[in-house]
A and B are shown apart, each in its own frame.
Chain A
Amino acid sequence: MDDRQGQRGSGGNREMWASRLGVILAVTGSAVGLGNFLRFPGLAAKYDGGAFMIPYFIAFLLLGLPIAWSEWAMGRYGGRHGYNSSPGIFRVLWRNRAAPYFGVLAMVVPVMIYMYYVYIEAWCLAYAVRYLFGAMGFENPEQFFTFFAQFTGIEQDGAAWAIEGEGLLGSGVFFLVLCFVLNFVLIYRGLSKGIEWFCSWAMPALLVCAVIVLIRVLTLGTPDPQKPELNVLNGLGYMWNPATERLGFFESLRKPEMWMEAAGQIFFSLSVGFGIIITYASYLKSDDDIALSGLTACAGNEFCEVALGGLMIVPAAYVFFGHETLQASQSTFALGFVTLPNVFGKLPAGGDVIGFLFFFLLFLAAVTSSLSMLQPAIALLEEGLGLRRRASVAMLGFITAVGSAFIVYFSKDLTALDTIDFWVGTFGIYVLALFQVILFAWILGVDRGFEELDRGAEIRVPRIFKFIIKYVSPTYLLAVFAAWAYQSLFVVPEGQPSRLQAIVENRTVQLSIGLIVLVSALFALLIAQSVQRWRAAERAAGGKKP
């Protein structure tokens, strides 16, 4: 047994958490990020809001929550056996030569999501700085839309470097470099104490800002009397009505990609299927609680996503842009950036201050998420290749810088970002979650898995979740996957080409897929090397496996 898990920050660092309220803020705040306020509203808008919420909540109960618990349990189990990286933990759980190679996904998912996540983080920082310098004084929704299009280079590839005449304030690349440097300084120097300190005050501040914005959205009424249909009640209707004008209730649910993306969103925002929870859980003590901790993180995340993000951004976007623009939005992440500034502009006073605070706090929340995304790969490089933390960080810095530069350059319609977000941020997470739930329920065994989950638990997880994890979650994931694959391959789509067709037809999509394959191959090689070292260490220890 490795005693490293006993070295987590429960000594001096614990002094930061002087109160139980601090624990709540830390646990709930850890899950809050760009997924809640930017990605979720974008997806809800894309799939007519109300209809999207059905698969969304089903996925939360049948997939997100049970798989989150599974990851916490498997991670702590692996940590007790001396491994912190997903490939190592998978190898402990499943004595099969193929097991560690499933860890490729657990490396590719967080590392490649980091490549675009840090870019969106940079947009948040840029918006915050522009509010600070009074450079967001646009007059109408179209001007905000035009600014975002220019800033992100939506019109053509290579146009995201800078807006002419705006200097550094108009340069997305400048802010990206700034975020990149900040992230890597924090990771390189291991400034975990600063991150803990930030969480103790920034999360409540972000929630206060969000509530102010929410109140303003709900009191928007009908901002443009020339367009009386664009009012807040219709906006709420767009977000929550189960049936739409175009499609009935059951008809709107017949979209396998929507079911897959709803599950993907649950995984994305709960950090499930990322390889992150499993890595962090491996550092816990064997009698630490994981059941209530996991549930509280999920609950805090859902509150921010549904009660704040869901009530705020989609209704406001409907009011300012209308139904057609909402569905034509180029990227799931774009909606918040073109909508929220309009809301800040409608505040009776202090719009610039709230705008600055909101985007700055969202930026800080994103920083905590992006820092955790690199830990799974750092853990592999350290325990698999024997690298020191700083060498691991430098290597990852190079890989992610190349990926981010690719995403920034291929900016037309944000195709590269959107493609990687779907194939890694939805599809990859989905496949990894499927593997992990099978690993937990069928290979480790659901009874042993629950023994691990119950150890030190402050709540007793309802036993119905044994049945859900063993039968319902894998069946659900496989069924949605099969329906999505069938529709993508065999049903002629209306309007936009399917994801699979886009691979054949669009050069940027092809290049993006190529990048995903390249990064996957790199991690497969690193894992192969790690397996050799682990075997050599086991032979040296007399053939004992951990």
Chain B
Amino acid sequence: MTLGGWIAMLLSVGGVTALLGWCIYKVLATPESTRHLHSQVDITTPDILDSEAD
């Protein structure tokens, strides 16, 4: 492991960890986050609702 390798690893891992940490902070600081933020898994498409009703 060279010095360049250590720098690349620390910057990469540190960078993505910091980015995720900042996002978590922003979500926690958002009062309406539970109603207002979304991901693919919590979007129930209308056709699924229709399908469940059938």
Q: A283 is contacted by which of B16, B34, B46, B51 (Cβ under 8 Å)?
A: B46
Q: Is the CB of A30 within 8 A of B52?
A: no
Q: How far is the CA of A299 from the CA of B16 in the complex (A)?
A: 7
Query: Within 8 Å CB of A27, what residues of B?
Result: 27, 37-39
A276 within 8 A of B: yes
| Cβ-defined contact, A50 with B40, below 8 A | no
Q: For the complex, give the distance between the alpha carbons of A277 and B38 in Å.
A: 11
Determine if A192 is an interface residue (Cβ-Cβ < 8 Å).
yes
Q: Which residues of B (18-53) have their CB < 8 Å from a CB of A?
A: 19-20, 22-24, 26-28, 30, 33-52
Residues of A close to B44: CB separation below 8 A: 8-9, 13, 192
Q: In the complex, A26 Cα to B8 Cα: how many Å?
A: 30
Q: Give the secondary structure class of B's interface.
A: helix
In the assembled complex, the Cα of A119 lies from the Cα of B34 at a distance in Å of: 35
Q: Is the CB of A458 within 8 A of B4?
A: no
In angstroms, how far is the closest chain B Cβ from the Cβ of A5?
A: 8
Known: A20-B28, A27-B37. A189 touches B12 (CB 8 A): no
If A50-B8, A241-B2, A299-B16 touch, whether A280 touches B28 (CB-CB below 8 Å) is no
Q: How far is the CA of A189 from the CA of B50 in the complex (A)?
A: 10
Taking A23-B27, A306-B12 as contacts, is the C-beta distance between A293 and B38 under 8 angstroms? yes
Q: Are B36 and A302 in contact (CB under 8 A)?
A: no
Contact check, A240 vs B42: say whether CB atoms are below 8 A apart: no
* Tally of B interface residues using CB under 8 Å: 42
Are the CB atoms of A237 and B26 closer together than 8 Å? no
Minimum distance in angstroms from A243 CB to a CB of chain B: 7
Q: What's the Cα separation between A299 and B40 when bound, in Å?
A: 15
- Cross-chain contact B41 with A29 (CB below 8 angstroms): yes
Decide yes or no: A289 and B36 within 8 Å by CB, A302-B20, A303-B20 being known contacts.
Answer: yes
Note all chain B residues with C-beta closer than 8 A to A300.
20, 23
- How far is it, in angstroms, between the C-alpha of A19 and the C-alpha of B33 when the chains are bound? 9
B37 to chain A, nearest CB (A): 5
CB distance from B44 to the nearest CB of A (A): 3
Contact call A190/B52, Cβ cutoff below 8 A: yes
Contact A9 B8 (CB under 8 A): no
B12 near A199: Cβ-Cβ < 8 Å: no
Residue A28, interface by CB 8 Å: yes
Find chain A residues with CB under 8 A from B8 CB: 50, 53, 240-242
**Distance in Å from the Cβ of A377 to the closest Cβ of chain B?**
12
Interfacial chain A residues near B12, Cβ < 8 Å: 53, 57, 240, 306, 310
CB nearest to A27 among chain B residues: B39
Q: In whole Å, how far is B35's beta carbon from the nearest beta carbon of chain A?
A: 7
Q: Give the distance to chain B from A193, nearest Cβ to Cβ, in Å.
A: 8
Residues of chain A at the chain B interface (Cβ within 8 Å) = 4, 7-10, 13-14, 16-24, 26-31, 50, 53, 57, 84, 189-190, 192, 195-196, 199, 233-234, 236-237, 239-243, 249, 271, 276-277, 280, 283-284, 288-290, 292-293, 295-297, 299-300, 302-303, 305-307, 310-311, 368, 372, 375, 378-379, 382, 388-390, 456, 458-459
Q: Chain B interface (Cβ within 8 Å of chain A)?
A: 1-2, 4-6, 8-9, 12-13, 15-17, 19-20, 22-24, 26-28, 30, 33-52, 54
